[in-house]
Amino acid sequence: MKIIVCVKQVPDTETRIRINPEGNGIVDQDVNWVVSPYDEFAIEEALRIKEAKGGEVVLVSLGPDRAQTALRNGLAMGADSAVHLKDAAFDAADTMGVAKALAAAIKGIGGADLVLTGQQGVGGDHSQVPGLLAGLLDLPQVTMAIKIELGEGKATVTREIEGASEVWETALPAVISAQKGLNEPRYASLKGIMAAKKKAIDVKDAAALGLAAADLAPLTTVASLELPPARPAVRMIDGDPETQARELLRLLHEEAKVI
């Protein structure tokens, strides 16, 4: 069984965001870059399937040089090989451009029995790549998976929705995106980290993927980025707990008008 996992490197969730002088992106320095947490669930799931059924796990990541660290992390967890999509032409790509590059890379390595992704990349928070990828590859999709069971040529997937969960049955190959709750990702072992150093990372640029500038022209552009508006100063409520409770309800009703 061949499983491809798409991996994105993102700022750690504890990162304090600073806006760049151009006002259209974040300051990259002093950011601790990590594998997007949802992608870790996808990698872990791929490794568990491989351990149960045999096969290989290939990672694909699009990003600058530093993305190789994310790929090495995944390789250290136990993935077999990795493809790094790197080209200055990807810098301005939007979600569609990224999905096109990933789709081309997946086709380039002969497709897969299963494509796993995180349900969203932490940071951009678009939650688009899984569906775009499935659409571009013409594969069925199940997103926000919290449980995956593989059968012969099919998978049974539990997906989280508002106030309920759905059980889906999908033909394979398919694109499945991982939601928190799917599994508990492992830490890389020292042995894994050593082994990862010897594993191959295949670097591909846009031309190698057969993508021209027109394919990567963004359909959407971030015109500006700003910090959230400051919130008003807090009003502390004094007194004993009973007084505090009554005073809070009065303020919520009379001043804030939310109850």
Partner 1 sequence: MKSIVTFAEQRDGKLRRPSLEAVSEARRVADAMGGAQVEAVVIGAGSGALAAELGHYGADVVHVFDAAELAHYATEVWARALGQVIGEVKPAAVLIPFTAMGKDLAPRVAAATGAGLVSDCSALAVKDGKLEARRAVYSGKAFATVRWSGEPQMATLRANVFSLATPDSSRATKTVARTVDAASRAKVTAVNAAAGGKLELTEAQTIVSGGRGMKGPEHFHLVEDLAAAFGAAVGASRAIVDAGWVDHHIQVGQTGKTVSPNLYIACGISGAIQHLAGMSSSRIIVAINKDGDAPIFKVANYGILGDAFEVMPKLTEAAKAYFAAKG
Pick out residues in 166-195 that bind partner 1 (CB under 8 A).
Answer: 166-171, 174, 180-181
Distances (CA, A) of 71 to 6, 29, 81, 239, 245: 10, 20, 9, 55, 52
Interface residues for partner 1 in 75-94 (CB under 8 A)? 94
In the complex, minimum distance from the CB of residue 157 to partner 1, in angstroms, rounded to a whole number: 8
Task: Establish if 236 lies at the interface with partner 1 (CB under 8 A).
Answer: yes
* CB contact burial 214-244 (16+ within 10 A = b; e otherwise): ebbeeeeeeeeeeeeeeeeeeeeeeeeeeee
Interface residues for partner 1 in 238-257 (CB under 8 A)? 241-242, 244-246, 248-249, 251-253, 256
Contacts 24+ apart (CB under 8 A), 11-20: 11/122, 11/123, 13/37, 13/122, 17/227, 19/225, 19/226, 19/227, 20/225
Gyration radius of the chain over CA positions: 22
Residues 105 and 60 sit within 8 Å (Cβ to Cβ): yes
From CA 99, how far away is CA 41, in angstroms rounded? 20
User: Which of 8, 159, 204, 216 is close enough to bind partner 1 by CB under 8 A?
Assistant: 159
Task: Establish if 212 lies at the interface with partner 1 (CB under 8 A).
Answer: no
3-class secondary-structure state, position 79: coil
DSSP state of 24: S
Task: Establish if 15 lies at the interface with partner 1 (CB under 8 A).
Answer: yes
Residues 30-69: x where in contact with partner 1 by CB under 8 A, - otherwise, as a string: -------xx-------------------------------
From CA 102, how far away is CA 6, in angstroms rounded? 8
In the complex, minimum distance from the CB of residue 203 to partner 1, in angstroms, rounded to a whole number: 26
In the complex, minimum distance from the CB of residue 147 to partner 1, in angstroms, rounded to a whole number: 11
In the complex, minimum distance from the CB of residue 182 to partner 1, in angstroms, rounded to a whole number: 10
In the complex, minimum distance from the CB of residue 109 to partner 1, in angstroms, rounded to a whole number: 20
Q: Which is nearer to partner 1, 165 or 189 (CB)?
A: 165
Task: Establish if 9 lies at the interface with partner 1 (CB under 8 A).
Answer: no
Q: Which is nearer to partner 1, 134 or 196 (CB)?
A: 134
Site size toward partner 1 (CB under 8 A) is 82
In the complex, minimum distance from the CB of residue 207 to partner 1, in angstroms, rounded to a whole number: 22
Enter the tokens of residue 214. 């027109």
Residues 113-152: x where in contact with partner 1 by CB under 8 A, - otherwise, as a string: ---------xxxxxxxxxxx-xxx--xxxxxx--------
Distances (CA, A) of 103 to 75, 99, 125, 138: 21, 6, 20, 10
Residues 216 and 95 sit within 8 Å (Cβ to Cβ): no
In the complex, minimum distance from the CB of residue 51 to partner 1, in angstroms, rounded to a whole number: 23
